[in-house]
Chains A and B, each alone.
Chain A
């Protein structure tokens, strides 16, 4: 089956620094990837749609200058949280879209101290 990986699985960073999260489709190519944020005991909130070779489309209320998304190839999308603050601490999940289904990565836990 289709496998999506994320790296790192857990990252701790200091306030004011930037952190990059990678999302890879391992055995298929995905022109579209999605980034979600999930707070404890809550549902997934779509942050942005990442399209290979073009700019990401951000959902309303998501700061595009803070959450930089790059879809450099058909198998890799990255999310960079710039100048991270404690309120950015969350669980970030990516998914890769193929045909009519999304395959999810295992998620990245970000803790900003």
Chain B
């Protein structure tokens, strides 16, 4: 079974600054994927970034990057140059061979002007 833990229920950041959201996970599988999803007030789940566990290189998508520490089972998300539109709930998730996604409890991020 997989578990995902997000220890920061809420965070805030000033516009244009950088913020890091934490996530740890546990899995017994060798092949798995890790994701960060964004859920804005519209409640549409939006994929932010994906990391394949077998890849050592950290994934990057424009202003979003991850710090994937496989041995420590840590998968944090860094948002650079934060924008007001980044205000949302952020969910960390893990997926193994069963294709099921296991979500963390989420971090509510507020970007202040």
A residues at B contact (CB < 8 Å): 32, 34, 38, 42-44, 46, 49, 91, 93, 95, 97, 100-102, 104, 106-107
Q: How many chain-B residues does the 8 Å CB contact rule pick out?
A: 20
Contact of B91 among A32, A44, A101 (CB under 8 A): A44
Task: Check B78 for interface membership: any CB of A closer than 8 A.
Answer: no
Known contacts A44-B45, A100-B52, A102-B101; 7 additional CB pairs below 8 A are: A43-B91, A95-B45, A95-B101, A100-B95, A101-B47, A102-B95, A104-B46
B residues at A contact (CB < 8 Å): 33, 37, 42-47, 50, 52, 91, 95, 99-106
CB nearest to A46 among chain B residues: B100
Chain A's interface: helix, strand, loop or mixed, by majority? strand
The answer to whether residues A42 and B105 also contact, given A32-B99, A49-B100, A101-B50 and a CB cut-off of 8 A, is yes
